Amino acid sequence: MPAPSLLVISLSPIHRDARVLRQLSVVAEFGHVTTIGYGPKPEGSDEHLQVPDGLSTLPQTPLGIAKLALRRLRAAELEAPASQWVLKAVKGRRFDIVVANEARILALADAVAGGAPIWADMHEWAPEERTHILSWRLLVAPLMDHLCRTYLPRCAAITTVGDRIGELYRSRYGVEARTMRNSSPYRDLPVGEVADDAVRLVHSGAAVQGRNLELTIDVVSALPERFSLDLYLVPANDGGRYLRSLTERAPADGRVRFLDPVPPMMLPDTLNGYDLGVFWLPPVHTNGRLTLPNKYFDYVQARLGIAVGPSPEMADLTERHGLGVVAEGFSPETITASLRDVTAEEIRSWKRHADSAAHELSFAADAQVARDILGTLLAG
């Protein structure tokens, strides 16, 4: 009997998409895996269909934009150039399960599934993905809402990154979403030494406009000289403009450094020598307010203390496990006040607590959610 055929669609560079790579590590346990996305074949894939660079994942053609503007949303569902390419690439093929990553490809997944069950990994809250951008809010947000309303009830399984976002999907679309966090695989790393006279802060992620990394730089600039910050940033698809603006904003005393990004699986090892992993994202939209990103779990596996703002998902875990400090607000002054007087002994305690929580907050529990879904769908 041939192995099950599983299709994973993620219109992202999968080879460096940490969440999809972890997802693939489980999907690969269940059969022959075909992936569709940008960039080279990712680990865990048996066959990869590489979407040509430059093909948009949204209906950003003159006809597509006209359909969005006229609210002809059904007609715009498959108008994106990348979707058109995928439809041709898989024409005539059959799959036992289709895994769809993010709302923008729900109609595409439905079209290629041919009745096979679809697991929709929604990641975040799709209707407000980029609503801080006017053009997105006016043109794209209605399409995301339409796709969720139309196709989520047809999906056999739905996952998202946190409980609160899952509740949003339940309340608006009447669907049950299971939580599959952005957790990292367990790493057996030591609890690093902490100096008495220096605090080494670190932040890893993408240099994307809207992440407000300016705030992080301004906080470090205002902190005493014993604080330093290293940034491991992946440039955005803007030719590196935003990253350059950040380097220009950094203080001249060298306390803020920009280092080359490292592959997702290497991050905990790279970060292990620091003291505090930091992430302060003001709640400019729902996903910002409810963020629980990859980096949080990388910090835990790296055995770091954690410094965040009052973002409820991160604040809950930080306080429950005694992992670090939660600022009372998102102003530079409030965040600076939360850190200014931290002691070496406090940091040592937070790092020990991260070590104690590393198993519970690892990918093992979230991988089991994926295994339960795939096992159920194949059995059904």
pLDDT of 215-258, one tens digit each?
999 999 999 999 999 999 988 877 888 999 999 999 889 999 99
Which residues have CB under 8 Å from 48's CB, separation 6+?
34, 35, 36, 37, 40, 41, 42
Which residues have CB under 8 Å from 366's CB, separation 6+?
22, 179, 180, 181, 183
**Listed residue (74, 157, 63, 62) closest to 111, CA to CA:** 74
pLDDT digits (tens, 9 = 90+) for 52-65: 999 999 999 999 99
Sign of the dihedral through C-alpha 49, 178, 365, 291? positive
Domains of the chain: 5-183+363-379 (3.40.50.2000), 199-357 (3.40.50.2000)
Amino acid code (one letter) for 159: T
Asked if residue 219 lies in contact with residue 228, where contact means CB atoms within 8 angstroms, the answer is no
User: Residue 25 corresponds to which tokens in the numbers above?
Assistant: 């590590």
DSSP state at residue 362: B
pLDDT exceeds cutoff 90 at 279: yes
The answer to whether the pTM exceeds 0.85 is yes
Helix (H) or strand (E) holding 281: none
pLDDT digits (tens, 9 = 90+) for 304-324: 999 999 999 999 999 999 999
Please compute the mean of the pLDDT values over residues 186-202 and round it to a whole number.
96
- How far, in whole angstroms, is CA 374 from its chain's centroid? 21
How is 89-150 classified by DSSP, letter by letter?
HTTT---SEEEEESGGGHHHHHHHHTT--EEEE--S-GGGTTTTSHHIIIIIHHHHHHHHHH
- How far, in whole angstroms, is CA 303 from its chain's centroid? 20
**SS3 at position 235:** strand
DSSP state at residue 43: T
pLDDT digits (tens, 9 = 90+) for 4-16: 999 999 999 999 8
DSSP state at residue 273: T
